[in-house]
Amino acid sequence: MQVLIRIKWFIILVLLQALVLNHVHFGQFATPLFYIYFILKFNSGTNVRSLLLWSFMLGLCIDIFSNTPGLNASASVLTAFCRPQMLRILATRDLSENFEPGIRVMGFSPFFRYTLFMTFLHATVLNLVDAFSFINFHTLTLQIVSDTLITLLCVLCVDSVRRNK
């Protein structure tokens, strides 16, 4: 049953990102990278190999629809790779428990820090691999910060709405 819910979220987020959010640019820079919500919400006890595989497939599907060979896949895999360590550092719960990270479970402040770091990491890797240069450092920095903030806002809004259910 859990796998079917995960597949449903996977399909919804890939289609949402590829068909809608990739075409939304706030101030010509900020693009919501909401598909990382899928990576952020995996249970804490998820096998690392499984997490990396799901993240790679998510990034690859986004890359296929967006015609960006490997950009999203590389950023998603690195985000998934760093996720268990960030949960270990920021979670107030004992990690022997299997929990789904969220505002309701972790509390607002730890979940905010966790989401902020993970979205910043993802946006940094994605924009660095895309630019592959530091020539326009100010533009690159503005893209990273704006992508991080708009994605953080989207994730916090959706998680707070899901929390009430």
The DSSP string of 58-89 is: HHHHHHHHHT-TTHHHHHHHHHHHHHHHHHHH
Q: How far is CA 157 from the centre of its chain?
A: 14
Residue with tokens 């990739």: 22
| C-alpha to C-alpha distances, 76 to 3, 100, 104, 110, 160, nearest whole angstrom | 19, 19, 25, 21, 23
pLDDT for residue 3: 85
pTM > 0.85: yes
pLDDT, position 164: 54
Give, for all 165 residues of the chain, the pLDDT tens digit: 678 988 999 999 999 999 888 888 787 778 899 999 999 999 888 889 999 999 999 999 999 998 888 899 999 999 999 999 998 888 766 555 788 888 888 888 999 999 999 999 999 999 999 888 778 888 899 999 999 999 999 999 999 887 555
Amino acid 2: pLDDT: 79
